[in-house]
Structure 1
Amino acid sequence: MDYPKNVPSVGLVNGRFVDEDPVAGTPGSLIPATWGNSVTQEILNVVQAAGITPNETSNNQLLAALRSPALFMTAAQFDNSRLAATTEFVQRALGSHTSARGVLSATQLSLADVGCSIGLGGNAAYTVTLPDAAAAPSGATISLHCRNSAPVTVASLTGTQISPQGAALNSIVMNNGESANFVRESGVWVVYGTAGLKYSSSFAAQINSPGYQRLPSGLILQWVVGASDIAGNMSLSLPMRFPSAILGGIANEANPAGWSASNATVWALDLGASTPTVAVARVRNIDPTGIKPSSGISGRILVWGY
């Protein structure tokens, strides 16, 4: 659309319309029918595109059309073109979660769940499978929070697409009260939140017997089970070496059911004899004949160090 510059004798001055000047004897500009029709049609195109029926007696249809949602469609979820963004698109991309829902059983999530906050409910274990990370755009985020009284496994659709604390896994486990944001980065779902902490080297653990638990402060707990030798001593190799030293520990009977009304045992950790790799405890058996060392008495040792 432009001024009718190519119409002869239309009377434009510097390319614009002017009024008649009776004093100076200059005529006013003419408005050609073609130009007037073009201007009208330009306006009608906007009105009709908004789904509004033109009304000759109405003077606010262009404003209504410009305010109509029909003229400003929200782009597709992952659109990254230079189209104008509606507030709906901006809110979905950068603001609050787009939606929230819950699941109670095995579920396959899709890209439609990107931006969603999903509660994992129920009382039985099940598996929730993430969308294929290769199909998700960078930065896509799915938020999960576990309310299930049983563990929920969150699995990759294919391969090892889940990365908590730098690891590459095909699944992680979420327990009651844990939360996680799965963010698509570099082709994998990177885990942020409490559900990823147990996969950190700062929280490394071996939940067996023997076993250990590391803590971010540097403190390490270790536990072992064994039996005394003929001298009433129990020396057990620890599942991991303390980087510096053992700070303390306790030892006790692993099978107190073996006691009777006439006998019991007394245990103590021998901190001086213990090393960063071996925990040493001593046991004495108390019975009517006295206090003496005995072999084959089962015992447990819990030590802590750094």
Structure 2
Amino acid sequence: MTSKYYVILTAIGAAKLANATALGAQLEITHMAIGDGGGVVPNPDATQIKLVNECYRAQLNSLSVDGNNQNQIIAEMVLPETIGGWYIRETGLYDSAGDLIAVANAPESYKPQLQEGSGRTQVVRMVLIVSSSTNVSLKIDPAVVLATRQHVEQSISALELRMKTALSDHEESRNHPDATLTNKGLIQLASGNDVFNGINNKKALTPNLLQVKGYFHSQVNKQDISQFTFSDFGRRVWVDSDSPSAFTLPDISKIGCSGQTITIWNVKDANITISVGNESNNISIPMSTVKMLTLKPTESATFIVEQNKVWHATGDGVLKHSIMFGANLAQNGWKREPSGLLTQWGSAIGSNGLSNVTFPIAFSNRPFTIIFGFREGAYPTYAQSIVLDDTATTNVGFRCRTMMATYPASNSASAYFWRAEGV
């Protein structure tokens, strides 16, 4: 059956489309016109340059390729409810130059106006068959067209897809503003060297890195294994009766920064030892460096990473190595106290009633006091006494006379103890 209603390209339209195809350009279809055909439904004529009787012309609402047929172009225009008062019998498509590109007839349909009491918004659609749809484009002013519901839904779907794609691209992108103290933004994680140098204020520090670098203490808990690792930085541990007695610190030969700490408290009833994790490492104690440190019961020590592969040890378990707490616990010995007081002791024996003693170490000044006590294997027959020669007492030693209470007085050959205090 021959189609009664159809769309054709005008001669001008066919020529323009062929030229656009040859040049690789696009034909811009911009408007649609509605006519009443002069009272009858006309037959489209390729020689037409206008409609038989145009009643209304406006910009296209949409121009799209049929999703099911790539050679079909669908043009739509929305007639507002305020437009009408005539029959729709013919339609035409115009390009941006104002030339009639395609013309069609349509089944007779009355378009009422709102003031007639039966206004409606109506969509007029033209389907144009071309050899290639790639050379046809739509150029409109969005401010002066109305949208169909289908067009709005399709536009929203397309917009949602674009937004999802843009959001995904945004999430994967690194092109974001930097975070500041007052504004959110993209921020980079800090490295150990950043923490050590302490001059970067644009990078973030994670709790794990903070603990690894030893800048805070985690909870106090018991140490059950003998080998400490970098994950123990920042910990404070105690060593109990069922804990090991010998411990090894992490190897800090290749560590890039300093300040990390491990604190150990010995609550065993026996000594424990803490050794370096590599022979190239050392433990710095007052006046010396060692490879191993011994903690007696109740003593504690904090080990701090320094430069040059060195642990710095501090705490009450290290005080015994300090010059303020130095001591030589021998028969003739000495000890220091934090106040600066130096106490020395020893034993001696006189020769012909005279005894010269040299202190184990020199006092800074003459000692404050020197006290004595005789040593006897049996109860003495006579009373004995020791007289200090004040003129021969200096910071390095003293001289005294040992005597027996005979008549007349005689020299004593008994041994004696002495104790001196000073600074």
Q: Deviations over 1:79-106 (max 9, x none)?
A: 96887445566577677532433347x8
In 2, Cα distance between the equivalents of 1:26 and 1:173? 90
Aligned with 1:163: secondary structure?
strand
Equivalent position of 2:258 in the other structure: 138
Q: CA RMSD in A?
A: 4.1
In 1, Cα distance between the equivalents of 2:243 and 2:349? 39
1:190-209 aligned at under 5 Å gives the runs 190-209=312-331
1:151-166 aligned at under 5 Å gives the runs 151-157=271-277, 158-159=279-280, 161-166=282-287
1:13-28 aligned at under 5 Å gives the runs 25=144
Q: Deviations over 1:230-281 (max 9, x none)?
A: 21x332211111122211121113x44x122745644465555321111334
Q: Tell whether the 8 Å contact from 1:251 to 1:267 is kept in structure 2 after alignment.
A: yes
Q: Tell whether the 8 Å contact from 1:286 to 1:292 is kept in structure 2 after alignment.
A: yes
Q: Tell whether the 8 Å contact from 1:123 to 1:150 is kept in structure 2 after alignment.
A: no
Q: Tell whether the 8 Å contact from 1:251 to 1:302 is kept in structure 2 after alignment.
A: yes
1:87-236 aligned at under 5 Å gives the runs 90=210, 97-103=217-223, 107-122=226-241, 126-136=245-255, 137-157=257-277, 158-159=279-280, 161-186=282-307, 187-231=309-353, 233-236=354-357
In 1, Cα distance between the equivalents of 2:292 and 2:381? 53
Aligned with 2:317: secondary structure?
helix
Matched, 1:298 2:419: no
How has the CA–CA distance of structure 1 residues 178 and 34 changed in structure 2, closer, same or farther, with 3 Å as cutoff? farther
One-letter code aligned to 2:344:
Q
Equivalent position of 2:107 in the other structure: none
How has the CA–CA distance of structure 1 residues 179 and 87 changed in structure 2, closer, same or farther, with 3 Å as cutoff? same
Equivalent position of 2:27 in the other structure: none
In 1, Cα distance between the equivalents of 2:371 and 2:235? 48
Q: Tell whether the 8 Å contact from 1:248 to 1:271 is kept in structure 2 after alignment.
A: no
In 2, Cα distance between the equivalents of 1:274 and 1:123? 54
Aligned with 2:392: secondary structure?
coil
Following superposition, the deviation at residue 304 of structure 1 comes to 0.9
Aligned with 1:108: secondary structure?
coil
Q: Percent identity?
A: 22
In 1, Cα distance between the equivalents of 2:261 and 2:400? 51
Q: Tell whether the 8 Å contact from 1:124 to 1:150 is kept in structure 2 after alignment.
A: no
Q: Deviations over 1:51-86 (max 9, x none)?
A: xxxxxxxxxxxxxxxxxxxxxxxx999696887445
Structure with the higher fraction of residues in strand conformation: 2
Q: Deviations over 1:105-131 (max 9, x none)?
A: x82322232222121233999432222
How has the CA–CA distance of structure 1 residues 94 and 170 changed in structure 2, closer, same or farther, with 3 Å as cutoff? closer
TM-score, normalization by structure 2: 0.49
One-letter code aligned to 1:292:
S
Q: Tell whether the 8 Å contact from 1:270 to 1:281 is kept in structure 2 after alignment.
A: yes
One-letter code aligned to 1:214:
R
How many equivalent pairs are there? Answer: 252
Equivalent position of 2:396 in the other structure: 277
How has the CA–CA distance of structure 1 residues 113 and 148 changed in structure 2, closer, same or farther, with 3 Å as cutoff? same
Following superposition, the deviation at residue 160 of structure 1 comes to 5.5
In 1, Cα distance between the equivalents of 2:243 and 2:391? 48
One-letter code aligned to 1:121:
D
Following superposition, the deviation at residue 141 of structure 1 comes to 0.5
TM-score, normalization by structure 1: 0.65
Following superposition, the deviation at residue 226 of structure 1 comes to 2.0
In 2, Cα distance between the equivalents of 1:42 and 1:225? 93
How has the CA–CA distance of structure 1 residues 95 and 192 changed in structure 2, closer, same or farther, with 3 Å as cutoff? same
Equivalent position of 2:133 in the other structure: none
How has the CA–CA distance of structure 1 residues 40 and 141 changed in structure 2, closer, same or farther, with 3 Å as cutoff? same
Larger radius of gyration: 2
